[in-house]
Structure 1
Amino acid sequence: MHHHLIREIGGRKHKEIYELIRRHGTVSKIDLLEQSGMTGSTLTRTLEELTAQNWLLEAGYGESTGGRRPILYQTNPKAGYVFGLDISRLHTKLILCDLHLNRLDAANWLMDESLTPGRLLPEIAQTAQTMLKSHGIPSDAVLGMGIGAVGPLDRVSGTILEPLHFPAAGWRNVEVTGYFSERLGFPVLLDNGANTALIGESWSDRNRDYRHLLYVHVGVGIRSSMMSNGKVVYGAVDMEGSNGQMIIQTDGPRLGDHGNYGCLETFASIHAIEQQAQARLKQGRSSLLLTLEDHPEKINFSHLVQALRQNDPLTVEIFTQAATFFGIGLSNLLNILHPEKVILGGPLISSHPSLFQTATRVAIRNTYHYPTYQVVFSQGHLGEEALVTGAAIMVIDQLTEV
């Protein structure tokens, strides 16, 4: 296995100044002096060196506060390029960005039973090479590729272990980082998609300094991640999907033949909703769903979303029930983790505004210490793009890792 190391920016002072400028977008020397606590001469030298190395650009002049107008600095977007890759159960997305996260190119694969790792990975590698060629970017100008994938996975060895519910076979013990770094010749980092989504959301909201964030994504499974003091929290094993195993009803049903009985995923996931709908229709309930598909067992999530948007009473009831159970699971997380801000994403939450409202209302009602403990709920800024954006950001973050 080739282990390529990600380029990094000089010494600790260089890293600190680069990171300050990156967070602000455009910033004057005066503000940098104040925030870095460096002496004027050290700061001047650091800025000159970073500019000479092409990491920074002088971006014109700020407003005069009496005397000369201050020089403004920003990071150089063309100092390097990054790929972000999101490998999920429904879609896989690849983006190519500059260091300001301007998107230069993007590709999308609809995951079906044909997209085994043996077929998908070579296609992704080929697409990445084509993107670089069409934008005239040499591969040594690429800092790396960040991958956010469905867990469980092993970040250190860069392996996707054994995720459930992939449409295609073969997604077990797939060494993705080794494969891509060998094919493409630049560094590759892997983390689970819930963590990269949280990295993306946290970056897009960096002007509000939330230190403790929780991200929960409800779709085929329930994926979650947590940040404390601005850093992703890692357990002893990859825990991306484990919140879905939280037990809500000890003697409850379970989906398929795995997982806990009566766990959250059994009540609040795409499969759970499909099963509920099929069961109710078999009981003889009337519904718009029967105009979309004549046989109850053929009803799937896309039919349900369609009926929900047309306010079909049975469908509204089923979704509301799932959102309520999800709210109960969420209150358990809030009672344990006490985040300042919670970002909810995924097809279950985004399919209708009422679902976010139901879930958050139930969560607050069951959270201890309310109203002294206040939490902010959000659907995020990036929606389904959070995972792939965060995967790209993860590589840029390495520039200033101390």
Structure 2
Amino acid sequence: MSPVVVDVADVPSADSLDALARVLEMIRRGEARTRPELIQATGLGRAVVSQRVDQLTALGLIGEGSLGRSTGGRAPRTLDFRADAGLLLVAELGATGLSAGLADLSGELLRCQEQPLDIADGPEECLALVESLFDELLRTAPPNVPVWGIGIGIPGPVEFATGHPIAPPIMPGWDSYPVRERLSARFQVPTWVDNEVNLMALGELRAGLARGVANVIYVKIGTGIGAGIVSGGKLHRGAQGCAGDIGHVEITEGESIVCRCGNTGCLEALAGGGAISRDGEAAARDGRSSQLAEILQRNGKIVSADVSDAARRGDPVSFELLARAGRLVGEVLATLVNFFNPSLVLLGGGVTASGDLLLASVREHVYRRSLPLATRELRLTRSPLDRRAGMTGAAHMVTDELFGLSTLPLWIKRGTPSGMPELADASSDYGVAS
């Protein structure tokens, strides 16, 4: 699809851009589908809504659909967001794996690929693999549909305003690396970077169990442990973008264990996937678990999935390791539940695939250690999106920024943000994403 060129006179003034953005947002999220619904939902006048709809139609961002329901009189036409007007490249980098995908402007994943990855290999090697997967995905993309933006999640603290990782504990060589600048230059589109768990929370907020829920905590238990926070229906990143980093909360019973961040007794050093693997291998070597010893002899190492499998086969040591991890996560999470009072807690990440044991242990200790009022209507369950939550969130991160009031005026006259990598530098307030 070629860029749409619209006469400047047809584009609203700065004073009217707010109305344009509101109308587009209502249609994009399906909150209003007809002109009468838009008038009622936005409080804008009939003439203003009509003008904005005409402008968005001329820009190729919305189109008319089927007839809606009549409320007395002629049935109105529905208005559909043109999700096929552009494409998004998205990727989620974990400690040990990479997921990459192609999405439309509604955030729907069209194609996905997964590959093993070691984040400790550094940014040059890891991002070269991301670029290779993106190139492969683009070869299968619909013809003549431009890429509008890129969204990336990484397993460490990110300064959202710049897209730079800041002192990420498990990512040697990544500190202050210009991830955004590299990918923007390579593909000539705006790029946004965030912590992977924030994107998982955003993905659930838009397309999963958290849709329509105002206050949510998403906890990823993988090699590391982190949390994404949704407050008042918006993703809460904090002042610099590192809210929710619960993996480095101190656990007093583990003071002697040094975390990869350099401190001792961190939650992820005691209950993350790496900790479960470490403790499982120790149990195999000292003879406490014959099942784990057999796995170690066969494979040369123990991973957290081996501990989960052994627990399901009745190994008491593996059972205890998972129960302990669940207890420690649950105790930290109980503090968050008392402090934040969410109505939904979602668990995701590779370790949560271990079955019901870990979930049951987390749930038991959250309910035991939290105030009755804080848990009276609390749901605590696994993420239904899980492996796709991060990529889905990455797609929505990009569209939130592209259609935000800080960015929309910069490209709306062209009809497309493709070819404008500098847009990411002018994106909206990084404290929240609506």
TM-score by length of 1: 0.88
Q: 1:208: Cα distance to partner?
A: 4.8
For 1:319 and 1:207, locate their aligned partners in 2 and report how far apart those are by CA, in whole Å. 26
The one-letter code matched in structure 2 to 1:103 is L
Deviations along 1:247-277, whole A, 9 cap, x unmatched? 2316633235644433322321112212322
SS in 2 for 1:311: coil
The one-letter code matched in structure 1 to 2:197 is A
Kept after mapping to 2: 8 A contact 1:64/1:70 = yes
TM-score by length of 2: 0.82
> Which of 261, 264, 268 lines up with 2:264 in the alignment?
261
1:51-66 alignment, distance < 5 Å: 51-66=57-72
Task: Tell which deviates more after alignment, 127-136 or 390-399.
Answer: 127-136
The one-letter code matched in structure 1 to 2:156 is G
Equivalent residue, structure 2, for 1:85: 91
SS in 2 for 1:194: helix
Matched, 1:128 2:134: yes
Task: Tell which deviates more after alignment, 188-197 or 290-299.
Answer: 290-299
Kept after mapping to 1: 8 A contact 2:163/2:179 = yes
1:205-216 alignment, distance < 5 Å: 205=208, 208-216=211-219
Equivalent residue, structure 1, for 2:164: 159
Task: Tell which deviates more after alignment, 214-223 or 377-386.
Answer: 377-386
Kept after mapping to 1: 8 A contact 2:281/2:292 = no
Matched, 1:278 2:284: no
Runs of 5+ unmatched residues, structure 2 = 1-10, 406-434
Q: Which runs of 4+ in 1 moved over 6 A?
A: none
Relative to structure 1, is the Cα distance of residues 378 and 20 closer, same or farther in structure 2, using a 3 angstrom cutoff? farther
SS in 1 for 2:297: coil
Task: Tell which deviates more after alignment, 227-236 or 176-185.
Answer: 227-236
The one-letter code matched in structure 2 to 1:41 is A
Matched, 1:202 2:205: yes
For 1:127 and 1:195, locate their aligned partners in 2 and report how far apart those are by CA, in whole Å. 23
Relative to structure 1, is the Cα distance of residues 119 and 297 closer, same or farther in structure 2, using a 3 angstrom cutoff? closer
Equivalent residue, structure 1, for 2:291: 288
Equivalent residue, structure 2, for 1:6: none
Q: 1:78: Cα distance to partner?
A: 1.5
The one-letter code matched in structure 2 to 1:159 is H
Aligned pairs, number: 391
The one-letter code matched in structure 2 to 1:105 is R
The one-letter code matched in structure 2 to 1:158 is G
Equivalent residue, structure 2, for 1:110: 116
Q: Percent identity?
A: 27
For 1:302 and 1:61, locate their aligned partners in 2 and report how far apart those are by CA, in whole Å. 52
Matched, 1:148 2:148: no
SS in 2 for 1:325: helix
Q: 1:48: Cα distance to partner?
A: 1.9
Kept after mapping to 2: 8 A contact 1:84/1:390 = no
Equivalent residue, structure 2, for 1:235: 238
Deviations along 1:314-353, whole A, 9 cap, x unmatched? 2122111111111111101112222222221112222212
The one-letter code matched in structure 1 to 2:115 is W
Task: Tell which deviates more after alignment, 353-362 or 20-29.
Answer: 20-29
> Which of 35, 38, 46 lines up with 1:40 in the alignment?
46
Q: 1:17: Cα distance to partner?
A: 1.3
SS in 2 for 1:293: helix
> Which of 11, 22, 28 lines up with 2:28 in the alignment?
22
Task: Tell which deviates more after alignment, 267-276 or 106-115.
Answer: 106-115
SS in 2 for 1:210: coil
For 2:346 and 2:260, locate their aligned partners in 1 and report how far apart those are by CA, in whole Å. 30
Kept after mapping to 2: 8 A contact 1:268/1:322 = yes
Task: Tell which deviates more after alignment, 386-395 or 334-343.
Answer: 334-343
Equivalent residue, structure 2, for 1:351: 354
Kept after mapping to 1: 8 A contact 2:281/2:296 = no
Task: Tell which deviates more after alignment, 183-192 or 31-40.
Answer: 31-40
SS in 1 for 2:345: strand
Deviations along 1:289-329, whole A, 9 cap, x unmatched? 23323389832223223223333232122111111111111
The one-letter code matched in structure 2 to 1:12 is D
Q: 1:57: Cα distance to partner?
A: 1.5
SS in 2 for 1:24: coil
Relative to structure 1, is the Cα distance of residues 97 and 297 closer, same or farther in structure 2, using a 3 angstrom cutoff? closer
Task: Tell which deviates more after alignment, 336-345 or 229-238.
Answer: 229-238
Equivalent residue, structure 2, for 1:3: none
Equivalent residue, structure 2, for 1:326: 329
Kept after mapping to 2: 8 A contact 1:287/1:314 = no
Matched, 1:178 2:181: yes
The one-letter code matched in structure 2 to 1:74 is D
Q: 1:394: Cα distance to partner?
A: 0.6
SS in 2 for 1:288: helix
Kept after mapping to 1: 8 A contact 2:345/2:378 = yes
For 2:248 and 2:124, locate their aligned partners in 1 and report how far apart those are by CA, in whole Å. 30
Relative to structure 1, is the Cα distance of residues 274 and 145 closer, same or farther in structure 2, using a 3 angstrom cutoff? same
Matched, 1:192 2:224: no
The one-letter code matched in structure 2 to 1:135 is A
Kept after mapping to 1: 8 A contact 2:210/2:344 = no
SS in 2 for 1:298: coil
Equivalent residue, structure 2, for 1:309: 312
Kept after mapping to 1: 8 A contact 2:200/2:390 = yes
For 1:230 and 1:310, locate their aligned partners in 2 and report how far apart those are by CA, in whole Å. 41
For 1:285 and 1:310, locate their aligned partners in 2 and report how far apart those are by CA, in whole Å. 15
- The alignment yields a C-alpha RMSD, in angstroms, of 2.7
SS in 1 for 2:290: coil
For 1:352 and 1:251, locate their aligned partners in 2 and report how far apart those are by CA, in whole Å. 25
SS in 2 for 1:224: strand
Equivalent residue, structure 2, for 1:95: 101
Matched, 1:70 2:76: yes
SS in 1 for 2:114: strand
The one-letter code matched in structure 2 to 1:231 is K
